Structure 1
Amino acid sequence: MTTGRKASIFLSSKWVKTQVLLQDPKGKRYVPDTRRFGSASLKSMLERYHMVYIKPERGTHGIGVIRAEQVREGKQRYKYQYNKITRTYETFDAFVTGLRGAIGGKSYLIQKGIHLLKYQGRRFDIRIMVQKSSTGKWETTGIIGRAAAPGKIVTNYHSGGRPMSIDLLLAAHVHGEKKKALIQELYRFGVTIAKVYQKKYPNFRQIGVDVGLDASLTPWIIEVNTSPDPYIFNQLKDKSMYRKVMSFRRAQRKVT
């Protein structure tokens, strides 16, 4: 953790950020099974979930994220995708050796794979921006969808993902009042997670909650970003969210 001004506390370790959620009953129910990378934990998780994401403990913009699978079509095989490259292995040992070559000596985590909803064949997730007002009240100030570039597994804007309206992304999966209720739930969800972090780190003033929705529309926390990029909201045609996010940032600077 690094600290500057009180408003700019930053947690770089995804493991530490996951532990914050797991230690709170309101947070842990939304966290996919997450463990440190190792051959035993990888084998166990693939046998249980069949698909996992392997991600660097420290890193941004989706760089270094790998999707790994245990395939049971005929003869059992293992494969992983890194960027747009997919490699397949006949044995688990060869698979682990290949993965270790891809990640080098860095510290990695394994997370249960969430089968994300798709928009025109592209996986998407959701960034919920939560900020503290000048009066100290948490508020969700923006929600935006991020659709992965064709053939890619990560949705981050800096990795080719496309920021999009959440209304548009959800339209193929939920409609009318149900869609409206889901979006309202996500607004409340962001505030709930912000309050979980505030218990441990009371000086936080903003977080970005990255959420994946599965086929049942259950929200899963992919990651919590403690230094979220506000400028992604400027990519939307409607600038109202961007203006609100930036107004909260300006107010925070005045307070600190």
Structure 2
Amino acid sequence: MKSNRVAVLSKWTKTKVLLQNKSIKPFIPDTRKFNMNNLRTMIHQYKMVYVKPECGTHGKGVIRAEMIDEYSYKYQINENILKFKTFSEFHKSLVKQIKKRRYLIQKGIHLLKQNHRRFDIRVMVQVNPKGRWETTGIIGRLGHARKIVTNYHSEGKPMSIESLLHNHLSRSQQTQLHKKLSSLGIQIASHLSKTYPKFRQIGVDIGLDKTITPQIIEVNTQPDPYIFNQLKDKSMYRRVMSCRRATVKK
């Protein structure tokens, strides 16, 4: 049954919908509901995972959890780092942080860095005046030096992706990646709109590691267009707002 809602808060729901598409599925990191068995399996398999609220926003409550060695673990929330000598203590402390809220565990992405600060990419996709999905903006988000999330509300800095990728990719490689991200964004929006036909814009958060393989961190159904206004070049912001205004008029 199709929904008429214009926002879906549950990351789990959005992930399940996206996993139905065979072309998108390879870009989705392993994601499971938080429980002790899933935590044990994933932390031992991947060594680093993100534990995050199923319905959270602005990076609030996101935890980066790591296996230090065979016997010890640690996690970071905000700027606080806690270490544990047993899995039992590690799990117990996480449960205390989470309380009764619904959380997910996602395979960790070792994000590319600039000046020792992690960054990821936001891909803005909107319905244009012709009624077609279009990637209207792609922007980098440079995280705060002491924090694990990159968004603007957590003191992340919006930047052009060229300025963040110049130490990692040649210009031609950047062009190829830009096309890939643009295409992937449209693909994601088109697929989601089959289930949620009233969507008019989405923001796809993409992580890149050393392999430069795009990995979908999450999809926002109420993306903030104003981060594009932080760039010196306002052309992308004008394009985003033009599509936004055209959609509102309809």
| TM-score bracket for this pair, using the shorter chain length | over 0.9
Q: Which residue of 2 aligns with 1:94?
A: 89
Q: Which residue of 1 aligns with 2:232?
A: 237
Q: Which residue of 1 aligns with 2:175?
A: 180
Q: Which residue of 2 aligns with 1:155?
A: 150
Residue identity in the other structure for 2:225: P
Q: Which residue of 2 aligns with 1:28?
A: 25
Residues 33-53 of structure 1, C-alpha deviations (whole Å, 9 max, x = no match): 000000110000011100000
Q: Does 1:80 align with 2:78?
A: no
Q: Does 1:145 align with 2:140?
A: yes
Distance 1:113 1:163 in 2: 22
Q: Which residue of 1 aligns with 2:212?
A: 217
Residue identity in the other structure for 1:115: H
Q: Let me know the Cα RMSD of the aligned residues.
A: 1.2
Distance 2:162 2:173 in 1: 12
Offset at 1:76?
Answer: 2.2
Distance 1:176 1:208 in 2: 24
Residues 34-76 of structure 1, C-alpha deviations (whole Å, 9 max, x = no match): 000001100000111000000001110000000001112xx62
TM-score normalised per structure 1: 0.94
- Of residues 35, 43, 46 in structure 2, which corresponds to 1:46? 43
Gaps of 5+ in 1: none
Distance 2:245 2:209 in 1: 35
CA contact (8 A) 2:53 2:103 kept: yes
Aligned length: 248
Distance 1:198 1:253 in 2: 17
Q: Does 1:105 align with 2:92?
A: no
Secondary structure of residue in 2 paired with 1:136: coil
- Of residues 34, 38, 42 in structure 2, which corresponds to 1:37? 34
- Of residues 64, 68, 90 in structure 1, which corresponds to 2:65? 68
Offset at 1:176?
Answer: 2.0
1:113-152 alignment runs, 5 A limit: 113-152=108-147
CA contact (8 A) 2:71 2:87 kept: no
Identity of aligned residues (%): 56
TM-score normalised per structure 2: 0.97
Residue identity in the other structure for 1:18: T
- Of residues 13, 19, 26 in structure 1, which corresponds to 2:10? 13
Distance 1:254 1:57 in 2: 32
Residues 137-174 of structure 1, C-alpha deviations (whole Å, 9 max, x = no match): 11000000001101110001001111011000011100
Gaps of 5+ in 2: none
CA contact (8 A) 1:27 1:196 kept: no
Offset at 1:226?
Answer: 0.4
Distance 2:230 2:182 in 1: 20
Distance 2:168 2:196 in 1: 36
